[in-house]
Amino acid sequence: MNPADYEKQAALNAVAHMAAAARTAPKTRGMDNLSTVIIDDPDVRKIVAEKMKEIAQREDRPFCERDANCIAHSPAILVVGVASNPAELNCGMCGCATCDELRGQQGVCAFNSIDLGIAIGSAAALAAQFHLDNRVMYSIARACIELKFFGENVKQALAIPLSVTGKNPFFDRK
């Protein structure tokens, strides 16, 4: 194998560990509502990039197109989603008075959002420990939700593309 092959393999190995880190991250109330998707197929990455460009045009979000161009440098992308599953505390942290009201509005429980943040933070920390270029991105995850990679119940997700290059392609973007 040449150095580029080893570097790609390093990213592929790391993304599996990152998915495990997201899965085992602490969860509020001990309820696991997370789903993970690993994108390591160039054809799937192209589908996601096209969906990101579509979102950019449809919603006038130029950063989605910029990010779509960035993932060409990524041999592996971790996407972590969280299902909407109210904690049944009627705590009001989501902005609704009760969990039943939240369900009626098809909203997302604040505890689910917290779990997503903890999981993506655990995964990003591991990517940093592996010294891999990475960045947390909403735009990739948004495309994956629209493409139904998680099914119907996941309403929030974040993604971490990885790269092994001389300069992180996910920063100082145009």
pLDDT in tens, 150-161: 988 899 999 999
What token pair was written down for 47?
């589908």
Integer CA distances (angstroms), 88 to 55, 61, 99, 119, in order: 34, 35, 6, 21
Q: So what's the pLDDT on residue 174? A: 65
In degrees, to the nearest 5, what angle opens at C-alpha 162 toward C-alphas 82 and 26? 35
Average pLDDT, the chain: 94
Residue whose structure tokens are 């001990």? 30
**Percent of the chain's residues with pLDDT above 90:** 81
- DSSP for residue 160: E
- Rounded distance, CA 53 to CA 60, Å? 10
Element (H, E) at 156: strand 154-163
Amino acid at the residue 131: H
pLDDT in tens, 74-121: 999 999 999 988 888 999 999 999 999 999 999 999 999 999 999 999
Confidence at 4, pLDDT banded by 50, 70, 90? confident
Sign for the pseudo-dihedral over CA of 100, 101, 106, 112: negative
Domains recognised in the chain with CATH numbers: 3-163 (3.40.109.10)
> Between 119 and 1, whose confidence is greater?
119
Sign for the pseudo-dihedral over CA of 40, 44, 50, 52: negative
For the chain, the residue count is 174
Looking at the DSSP assignment, which residues form a beta bridge with residue 137? 159
